[in-house]
Amino acid sequence: MAVQGIVVENVSRVFGGLKAVDGVSLTLARGETVAIVGPNGAGKSTLVQLISGVDRADSGSIHVDGVRTDRLSSDRIARLGVGRSFQTSRVFPALTVWDSVLVGVQPGLIERPSGRLIDPVTESLGALLGLGFWRRRVKAQEAAAEAALKLFGDRLWPRRDQPALSLSYANRRRLEIARLLAAEPRYLLLDEPSAGMNPTETEELTHLILDLRRTHPQTGILVIEHKLSMVRRIADRVVVLNQGRVLIEDKPDHALDHPEVVEAYLGKPRTGASFQDAHHG
């Protein structure tokens, strides 16, 4: 029986002389929410790049549900059920909101249950001739896309025929997350989902993640986040990174109030009060 979850073991990534990620190990089980925090340059985003296959680790190993993924391409990893968002939302600007979400479900359309892809000829015939079996697949995927958009209430669904570039900053973030959710991933990697959001929008996002945890109890969520008040509310565990290394891994309140963590963020320990949002994005 293969080990479930995302297992990162002793992973390093060097850029020139800089060890961006230096021997990091961590796990993400299905159903749990883990937050990665740390000062700028701690290697948080690089770690997400490595897990999602957008960048390659120099050493160490990464497994997703028992499948070794550190040498796989990012599309293969995504099809294993790992969805990721980007620090700056990437939403296919000229595509409509609706098309943008449908891109998210496309891999499910061309993937057989075995995990192999349908060959391009069959795909072409299905798409061109609108054959029955193909149309049923498309319908199912469209239903998933519609449900994902409607998760955001009237933020996205009424705007589905507008190009993504016309959306507000916060709505682009929502669209990106909707695209991920439409694919029904087993793991979600969110790279600073609240960056650029005002307090109200951050609150809304916090509720969305809490709702997700309730509606998708089997989804593992890894979230990079600077807004520690949000981290305290959503995360089961916190991993603090500093200079590419895991500084501490613990429950949110323990981890975030740990003197070494405070020092890593602020440079010197503060007595008494725990600190709140280190970074307002």
Partner 1 sequence: MELFLSQILNGLAIGQVYALIALGFSLVFGVANIINFAQGALFMLGAFIAYSAIAWFELPLVAAAAVSVVIVAILGLLLERIALRPLIGAPYIAPFLSTLAISTIIDQSAEIIWSPESQPFPAALSNTTFFIGNAYITLTDLVIFAFGAAATVALTLFISFTWTGRALRATAQDSAAAAQLGIRTEAMRQIAFGLAGALGALSGILVALYFQSVFPQMGIPFGLKGFAAALLGGLASIPGAVVGGLLLGIGETLASAYVGDSYRDAIAFTLLLLMLLVKPNGLLGSKRLDALGGAGAAAGAMPTTSLLASSSSQQTAIRAVYLPAWGFLVVGIAFATVPLVLTSTYVLQALIYGFIFALLAVSTSLVSGSVGILSIGHAAFFGVGAYAVGILARPYGLSADATLLVAIALTALVAVVAAIPLLRLTGHTAALGTLAIGQIGFLVFLNWVSVTRGPMGILNIPHPVLEILGGARFATTAQKYWLVLGFVVIGLVIAERYVSSPIGRVWRAIREDRLAAQASGLPVKRYILLAFAISGALAGLAGGLFAYVQQVVSPESFTVETSILVLTMAVLGGLGNFTGAAVSGFALAILPEFLRGFAEWRMIIYGLLLLAALRVRPQGLLGAR
**Which residues lie below 8 Å from residue 179, measured CB to CB, with a gap of 6+?**
91, 100, 101, 103, 104, 148
Task: State which amino acid sits at residue 173.
Answer: R
Binding segment for partner 1 among 82-90, 146-154, 226-234, 253-261 (CB under 8 A)?
Answer: 82-90
Task: Confirm or reject binding of residue 75 to partner 1 (CB under 8 A).
Answer: yes
Return the structure tokens found at 126. 């299905």
What is the C-alpha to C-alpha distance for residues 249 and 235, in angstroms, rounded to an integer? 12
**Which residues lie below 8 Å from residue 16, measured CB to CB, with a gap of 6+?**
none
Task: Confirm or reject binding of residue 100 to partner 1 (CB under 8 A).
Answer: yes
| Residue from 128, 133, 218, 273 in contact with partner 1 (CB under 8 A) | 128
Task: Confirm or reject binding of residue 183 to partner 1 (CB under 8 A).
Answer: yes
Q: Are 70 and 50 contacting, i.e. CB atoms less than 8 angstroms apart? A: yes
**Which residues lie below 8 Å from residue 68, measured CB to CB, with a gap of 6+?**
61, 62
Binding mask 29-58 vs partner 1 (x if CB under 8 A, - otherwise)? -----------------------xxx----
CB of 271 to partner 1, least distance (A): 40
Return the structure tokens found at 119. 């060959």
Task: Confirm or reject binding of residue 93 to partner 1 (CB under 8 A).
Answer: yes
Binding mask 10-29 vs partner 1 (x if CB under 8 A, - otherwise)? --------------------
Give the residues lining the site for partner 1 (CB under 8 A): 52-54, 73-75, 78-79, 83-84, 86, 88-95, 99-100, 102-104, 106-107, 109, 117, 120, 123-124, 127-128, 138, 163, 165-166, 172, 179, 183
